[in-house]
Structure 1
Amino acid sequence: MPLTFRKSFRILPGVRLNINKRSWSITTGSGNGPRYTRSSTGRRTTSMDLPGPFGWRRTSRTRRDGEH
């Protein structure tokens, strides 16, 4: 079973700094509304919890300079 490293810190109300072995990200938003995440790898995610066992997520990736 591989070991993973992941840590999350609350830096302000509604703002979290998430760190793992390969990257870091900032998440903003509250529990009742949408959450927006921007990663150091260029990934942007918008997510929202819906009533019941449902959730919604949209992820996009920004192109870095030099990538095709």
Structure 2
Amino acid sequence: MNKKSISSIINWMSGDIAIDLGTANTLIWLKGKGIVINEPSIVARTIHDDNIVAVGNEAKAMLGRT
């Protein structure tokens, strides 16, 4: 899940939406579509300036990398 896909979902919020910010996974459910996102609740950031570089599956794939 990248920043662009998150933005497109947020911009589409004219219908009903449910967000579950779980400990292990974050789920987003849309009325008429069901669960549209089910990804790990993890964020990758730079050590020096705390910039976010990835979220969800992409961030999980980076886990343990320096």
What is the TM-score of this pair, normalised by structure 2? 0.38
* Higher percent of residues as strand: 1
* Higher percent of residues as helix: 2
What is the TM-score of this pair, normalised by structure 1? 0.37
Whichever of the two has the greater Rg, that structure is 1
Greater relative contact order: 1 or 2 (C-alpha under 8 angstroms, separation 6 or more)? 2
